[in-house]
Amino acid sequence: MIVSMLAATALQVAGAHMETPYPADMQRAEICYAHVMILIEDAARETGRVAGPSWFIREWWGARLTDEQSTDDRETRAKTAVVQRRIRDADGFAAEHTDCIQEAIKAGAVPGMTP
């Protein structure tokens, strides 16, 4: 199920983007890393399993985090901001989520998978 969800997400066309509610110092890599972590947590909660492509995408975004962005405190802050986006702007969250996954797949994060 999660593989089909990833594939469907990767194929969606992102809509117009609203301004994000994120702190000015928050960077795309940490926002996208938070999106993927939320995807992984949702899948684990719903099915008890997480598909392999999710891990590749998580690792791809994780490799783009700076040491400062890789702290537990900073990752929690980014994840909280992304969860708030999900609550306040579901369409913006979905578009951003799709963009993050598509970007990683297009860059080759998942061996053998293309958007």
- Alpha helices in 1-115, H assignment, sequence order: 2-11, 28-47, 52-62, 72-88, 90-106
The number of CA neighbours under 13 Å toward the Cβ of 48 is: 0
Encoded tokens for 47: 């099915």
Whether the predicted pLDDT of 114 surpasses 90: no
Task: Kindly report, residue by residue over 57-79, the tens digit of the pLDDT.
Answer: 999 999 999 999 999 999 999 99
pTM: 0.78
115: confidence class by pLDDT, cuts 50, 70, 90: low
The amino acid sitting at 115 is P
Domain spans in the chain, listed from the N-terminal domain onward:
26-106
Task: Kindly report, residue by residue over 5-42, the tens digit of the pLDDT.
Answer: 443 333 333 333 445 568 888 899 999 999 999 999 99
Other C-beta atoms closer than 10 Å to the C-beta of 112 total 6
